[in-house]
Amino acid sequence: MIYKDFKRNHVVLPGREKALEAFLKQDYKGMRHKWKNGFSSHSEDALTWSCFEILSNSSFHRKRVALNEIFEDAYQRQNNGLLEAATLKENEVQIHIGKQYTGLTSKERTEVDASVELPSKLIFFEAKLYSSVSLASPPEKPYDQIARKLRIGLDKPLNDNRDFYFIFLDIAPLEILTKRKGKAEVLSISKKGFEDKWKSAWLFNYYKFGRNGSLSPLRKVLEGIETPSVHLVAKNMGWLTWGDLFKIVLRSVITTNK
């Protein structure tokens, strides 16, 4: 569906209309792709804004509850305690939508759909809805979308030593999107490009779990970047569904009184 008014396609908090318009009209590499897609119900940017804008403008307590639940779901409860520090202050939890980051040494640059900056952690969210990740296309694009986010996130874009986490946000669980029937995966619908959804899950698995018991694919795409153990990088890769995110955001707003 194409809406006549872009505000109809987003959750807009009172007084944040101009902020939304500025977000949609921001320029990236000479293009305003968010504005072009901002009227479409298929826009992943619209969903990203609607969820993370609510969290960004929530109380410190609500942010803390929601972000901890996001972390738990993305890592299947294997990476708990995102905001466990009792001394953490409200201004130390920063949530950004569409922020641009540049690697400290590589000078590679990328726009991140959503990101969370904490004193000791940096979390990148790569959000997809009906589309799949963009693949590498050398020499202009030597890295695919996942590899590029990993490289820049690990390359100290905030000029410090925060632990880096990467969370892929997509329409279905990882194990569902990795299933294919011939050239189309099992959730195929009449939407151009949706038959390629499995590529996002395949690439994520390829880097997180490696090939034949080896993490050499991940190690290869991180060449030239000073990183911790590739095993830790792989461990810090999480997968989250839109359904889980929607429930977390709604629960944080409706059931939390603080």
Strands 237-241 and 184-185: what pairing? unpaired
Q: Is the pLDDT of residue 141 over 50?
A: yes
- Candidate from 59-63, 75-79, 93-97, 229-233 with smallest mean pLDDT: 75-79
Question: DSSP code of 174?
Answer: H
Q: What is the pLDDT of residue 79?
A: 59
Q: Which residue has the tokens 């299947």?
A: 76
Cα 210 to Cα 215: distance, rounded to the nearest angstrom: 4
Cβ neighbours, 10 Å, residue 165: 23
Cα 245 to Cα 52: distance, rounded to the nearest angstrom: 10
Listed by start position, the domains of the chain span 6-254
Q: What is the pLDDT of residue 85?
A: 57
pLDDT band at 188 (very low <50, low <70, confident <90, very high): very low
Query: Once rounded to an integer, what is the mean pLDDT over residues 32-55?
Result: 92
Q: Is the pLDDT of residue 138 over 60?
A: yes
Q: Where is 72: in which H helix or E strand?
A: helix 60-74
Cα 82 to Cα 190: distance, rounded to the nearest angstrom: 39
More confident position, 213 or 21? 21
* Angle, helix 198-209 to helix 145-154, in steps of 10 degrees: 40
Q: How confident is the model over 90-108, as pLDDT tens digits?
A: 889 999 999 999 999 999 9
Q: What helix, strand, coil percent values describe the chain, rounded to 5?
A: 40, 20, 40
Cα 145 to Cα 166: distance, rounded to the nearest angstrom: 12
End-to-end CA distance of the chain: 37
Cα 1 to Cα 115: distance, rounded to the nearest angstrom: 28
Given CA atoms 13, 17, 21, 23 in this order, what sign does their dihedral have? negative
Is residue 10 within 8 A of residue 50, CB to CB? The reply is yes
More confident position, 83 or 115? 115
Write the single-letter amino acid at 54: I
Q: How confident is the model over 143-160, as pLDDT tens digits?
A: 999 999 999 999 999 999
Is residue 207 within 8 A of residue 237, CB to CB? The reply is yes
Query: Once rounded to an integer, what is the mean pLDDT over residues 212-224?
Result: 94
Q: How confident is the model over 229-239, as pLDDT tens digits?
A: 999 999 999 99
Which percentage of the chain shows pLDDT scores above 70? 88
